[in-house]
Amino acid sequence: MAQQTLRQKLEILADAAKYDASCASSGTARKNSLGGKGVGSTEGMGICHAYAPDGRCISLLKILLTNHCIFDCHYCINRKSSNVARARFTPQEVVDLTLSFYRRNYIEGLFLSSGIVKSANHTMDQLVEVARILREEHDFRGYIHLKTIPEADAEIIHQAGLYADRVSINVELPTDSGLTRLAPDKNARQIEGAMGRTKARIIEAKDERKRFRNAPRFAPAGQSTQMIVGADDANDTAIIGRASTLYTAFGLRRVYYSAFSPIPDASAVLPLKRPPLLREHRLYQSDWLMRFYGFAPQEVAQAAEADGNLPLDIDPKLAWALKFREHFPVDVNRAPKEMLLRVPGLGTKAVARILAVRRHRRLRLDDVARLTASIAKVRPFVCTIDWRPTLLTDRADLRGLLTPKSEQLELF
């Protein structure tokens, strides 16, 4: 076989990494500039954007060490039975690429994942070696996100956490039965065991650093995971429940949702069609409701339709408010923060602003309008000194009034 150039390997292994959403600029519309239309991309390969622990948006070189794999996960383009071009970097090649891109100011860090070659331990060793060389031999201080392999020994995963800012372990599918069917080489208990140990080590390292300033850091940006949506028959209620359990049990920083996309040469057990991308977006919105808006997972699930899926035409917060109208209207000048956060159309920043302003004066509807992108969405659910929605809140056709008009999609 002809020797692959570094550029050929980079093309294959950057493209193969794009299916992993767990460092992605999630929750944004998917756009790209292919074909010379505009500049920039939120879904292309090679360089992705992530948020650092201090909230900065940073660019990461996003690649696989190799797309060879001894596992046969049906939903994965890199599974052993897949007919794709294969490539493999050495750890030193990844180090050199990272440093050269870093010096040219293209990136501020590295997101490194891998298929499994030879064994989980062998692969994990190689991933750790990349991070070790960067940190110890080059004093690299940029961000490193390492994907870890739950089947590897706990000690090697521990090493990964000592060098990386963030580690992630993919749970892959929302249900155990989905995992057994679609990823027969993986084991849900093994995945959870690795996440549990990582959580314990993150907590231990934080405690130690409180006592000893020079104690080693362990994954200071925490751990995250990814769930594939739409490859099995788990509905949104099941996915929300699973995400909530993962946040609570393993202290995850993020759960990423990745709408399953039919891959070339797909396995016959997979659905032929991808789920609507809007489904992924609604799941991110529901995730936000749990993390920043004080919704319990069962409350988010209450927003779902009879089939257990969130409505696609309206966001989950509006869906919840329409179902539980007895909680509205909310008096913007008196209501506690928890209730203001439930008002459709009011984000966390708008609520913080309302709370700050009302210490000095009472708000009018115009004041609220300046804090939201859509006062039409807010009006049925609030009272101000000059506005009461009266019968509007209970109108049978309210959902229709608030549903965004569908737009003609571009044909070309």
d(CA 40, CA 24): 14
147 binds ligand SF4 (CB under 6 A): no
d(CA 284, CA 400): 23
> 53: which 2 tokens?
């622990």
Choices 68-76, 253-261, 332-340, 374-382 (CB under 6 A): range interacting with ligand SF4: 68-76
Nearer to ligand SF4, 76 or 194 (CB): 76
Q: Which amino acid is at 223?
A: Q
Nearer to ligand SF4, 164 or 183 (CB): 183
Q: Which residue has the tokens 């050495």?
A: 90
**Residues 87-146 interacting with ligand SF4 (rule: CB under 6 A):** 115-116
**Residues 180-199 interacting with ligand SF4 (rule: CB under 6 A):** 183
Strands 143-147 and 223-229, sheet pairing: unpaired
| Smallest gap from residue 395 Cβ to ligand SF4 (A) | 48
Give the per-residue contact string, 156-185, with ligand SF4 (x = CB under 6 A; - = no): ---------------------------x--
**Residues 74-93 interacting with ligand SF4 (rule: CB under 6 A):** 76, 78-79
- Three-state SS for 240-261 is HHHHHHHHHHHCCCEEEEEECC
Question: Residues in contact with ligand SF4, total (CB under 6 A)?
Answer: 9
d(CA 20, CA 335): 42
User: Is 102 in contact with 139 (CB distance < 8 Å)?
Assistant: no
| Smallest gap from residue 195 Cβ to ligand SF4 (A) | 16
- Please report how many Cα atoms fall inside a 13 Å half-sphere around the Cα of residue 181, on the Cβ side: 14
d(CA 310, CA 306): 9
Nearer to ligand SF4, 69 or 321 (CB): 69
Nearer to ligand SF4, 110 or 263 (CB): 263
| Smallest gap from residue 31 Cβ to ligand SF4 (A) | 26
d(CA 289, CA 205): 30
CA-nearest of 313, 379, 320 to 346 is 379
| Smallest gap from residue 147 Cβ to ligand SF4 (A) | 9
CA distance readout (Å), 49 to 26, 114, 193, 284, 396: 9, 19, 29, 17, 43
Nearer to ligand SF4, 76 or 341 (CB): 76
Residues contributing to the site for ligand SF4 (CB under 6 A)? 69, 71, 73, 76, 78-79, 115-116, 183
